[in-house]
Amino acid sequence: MTKRRVAILISGRGSNMTALIEAAKAKDFPADIVLVVSNIAGAAGLARASEAGIATATVESKPFGKDREAFERRLQDTLVSHNIEIVCLAGFLRLLTPWFVKQWDGRMINIHPALLPSYKGLHTHERALADGVKIHGATVHFVVPEMDSGPIIMQGAVAVRDDDTPDLLAARVLEIEHQIYPDSLRLVASGRTRIENGHCKTDAGSPDDALISPEII
- List residues near ligand GRF by CB under 6 A: 12-17, 90-91, 111-113, 138, 174, 177
Cβ proximity to ligand GRF, 123 vs 194, nearer residue: 123
Closest CA to 149 of 199, 84, 209: 199
| Angle, CA 105 vertex, CA 3 and CA 42 arms, to 5° | 70
Provide the b/e sequence for 20-33 (b: ≥16 CB within 10 Å).
bbebbeeeebbbbb
> Cα(41)–Cα(62) distance, rounded to whole angstroms?
10
178 is catalytic: no
Cβ proximity to ligand GRF, 34 vs 90, nearer residue: 90
Cβ proximity to ligand GRF, 77 vs 215, nearer residue: 215
Q: Which of 112, 136, 141, 178 is catalytic?
A: 112
Q: Give min distance, CB of 173 to ligand GRF, in A.
A: 7
Q: Give min distance, CB of 53 to ligand GRF, in A.
A: 19
Q: Give min distance, CB of 13 to ligand GRF, in A.
A: 4
CB 193, CB 201: distance < 8 Å: yes
What residues act catalytically?
Answer: 112
